[in-house]
Amino acid sequence: MISEIEKKIKEVKSFNPKDFKDVENFRIKYIGKKGFINHFFSEFKKVKSSDKKAYGLAINELKKLTIQKLEDLNYKFNSVNTSSIEKEDLTRPFSVLELGSRHPISIIRDKIIEIFYKIGFDVSEGPEIEDDWHNFTALNLPEHHPARDMQDTFFIEKNPDFLLRTHTSSVQIRHMENNNPPIRTISPGRVYRNEDISARSHCFFHQIEGLYIDKKVSFSDLKQTLIYFTKELFGKSKIRLRPSYFPFTEPSAEVDIYWGLNSETDYRITKGTGWLEIMGCGMVDPNVLENCKINSNDFSGFAFGMGIERITMLLYQIEDIRILYENDSRFINQFKNSI
C-alpha cells in the first residue's frame, strides 16, 4: 500500500496542467472528499502495526506535496488572469457613496444617556413583553387599581398576565430586584399604549426613565439633578415643579422648563406662557422599594421619566410625531450634521 502512495507522490510532482480547469480536477482528485488522500487515511487502520509509521510518513508527504502544488498552480493561473485584465481607468467618473443619517430619536436618546452618564448613571434594559407584576403590581398598581385605566394596555390575547410594556418603569423594578443600593440607572426603551394615532400621539413611542436609590436621598437631590439635566440638554436651567400624581412616586411632580417668549414660535409652542412640560418625577414610593426587597427605612430614592419623541419634536421643531416612524429618507437626511 505504501507503494501506491509513492506512485501518487510521483504523479503529483510531474503534474503539469494546461489550464485552471485541470487544476480544479487535480484538487478534487487528490484532496476532495472522495480523493486519494482521504482514501489512504481511511485505510490506515488496516495497515500492520510494524508498517504504520512508514505509512503515516508517506501519507503526510503526499498531502504536503499536493497542497504546495495547488498553491503554486493557483498563484500561477491567477497571475495570468490578472495580467490579462485591462488596467483600471483611474480618470473615469465614479459614484460617491452617500453618507447615512442617524435617526433623530437615536440622536436625542444618546444625548440624554451621555448627560446622565457624566453624573454616574448606568444604562439598564429589559424585555418589551412584560408580566403584570413588573409592569403594574410591583409599581404600586395592584389589580383593579383605578390608575391602571390611565394606560390603555396591549395585552397578550392567549395569556392576559403578559402584555406589551406601557412604560420603562418595569425595567427599574427588574434592576432593583437584581441589584443592591446604591442604584443609579437610566432605562431607555420602546413602550406601547393602545391610543389613537394622531399628530401628537402614537400607539408606540420611546421613553427614558431614571432611578436613584441610596441612603438619605431627598427631593432637593432630585431638583438639582433636573436643573443639571435641563441646562445640559436645553441650555436652560429655570424649571418649576407642579404637584401631580403617579402611583409609584410620592410626592410626585410635573417638570416644566421656562422656554421663553422670544419669537412667534415660542408663543405658539408654549401657548403664550413661556413654560413647557417635559417630564414627570417624584420620590419613589416606599411600597415600591419594599416590593423589590429594599428596606424603605434605610433607603429612599427618586425617579423621573420623559418621552424621547416629545423632547425630539421640541428640539427639532417637528410638528407631527408620525413622520418619525415613516422612514422617509428626505426627512432623515436632514440630520446628517447631527451625527
> Under a CB-based contact definition with an 8 Å cutoff, are residues 243 and 251 in contact?
yes
CATH for 209: 3.30.930.10
Q: Please name the residue that has the C-alpha cell 419669537.
A: 263
How confident is the model at residue 336, as a pLDDT? 76
**Alpha helices in 85-206, H assignment, sequence order:** 104-117, 132-135, 169-178
What pTM does this model have?
0.68
Cell numbers at 89, concatenated: 481607468
Confidence band for 33, pLDDT divided at 50, 70 and 90:
confident
Position 323, amino acid: I
Q: What is the pLDDT of residue 57?
A: 83
Which of the two residues, 30 and 105, has the higher pLDDT score? 105
Mean pLDDT of 286-296: 95
Percent of the chain with pLDDT over 70: 91
Question: Bigger pLDDT: 41 or 242?
Answer: 242
Number of domains in the chain: 2
For residues 200 and 314, membership in a common domain is answered with yes
Clarify whether residues 264 and 297 are in a common domain: yes
Give yes or no: residues 76 and 114 share one domain: no
Question: Which structural domain, as residue segments, surrounds residue 32?
Answer: 2-81
Q: Please check whether residues 18 and 130 belong to one and the same domain.
A: no
Same domain assignment for residues 169 and 216? yes
User: Model confidence over 250-266: pLDDT tens digits?
Assistant: 999 999 999 988 888 88
Q: How confident is the model at residue 91 (pLDDT cuts 50, 70, 90)?
A: confident
With cut-offs at 50, 70 and 90, classify the pLDDT of residue 300.
very high
Residues 150 and 249 in one domain: yes
Q: Poorest-confidence range of 50-59, 93-102, 165-174, 330-339?
A: 93-102
Same domain, 30 and 134: no
Mean pLDDT of 16-29: 82
User: Which one of 39, 66, 81 terminates a domain?
Assistant: 81
The DSSP code sequence of 261-300 is: -SSHHHHHHTTTSSEEEEEEEEEEPHHHHHHTT--TTT-E
For residue 285, give the C-alpha cell: 414610593
* Domain contains 304: yes
Secondary structure (H, E, C), 229-265? HHHHHHCCCCEEEEEEEECCEEEEEEEEEECCCCCHH
Residues 149 and 77 grouped into a single domain:
no
Contact 276, 312 (CB under 8 A): no
Q: Which of 47, 81, 115 is the last residue of a domain?
A: 81
- Domain stop point among 66, 81, 96: 81
**Based on the domain organization, do 308 and 207 belong to the same domain?**
yes
CA 217 vs CA 250, 283, 292, 296, 330: distances in Å: 13, 9, 17, 11, 47
Domain check: are 134 and 282 in the same one? yes
Mean predicted lDDT score pLDDT of the chain? 86
Residues 110, 74 within the same domain: no
**Is the domain of 190 the same as that of 282?**
yes
String of b and e for 10-43 (b: at least 16 CB within 10 Å)? eebeebeeeeeeebbebbebbbeeeebbeebeee
Q: What is the structure's pLDDT at 83?
A: 47
To the nearest 10°, report the CA torsion of 207, 139, 150, 168: 10
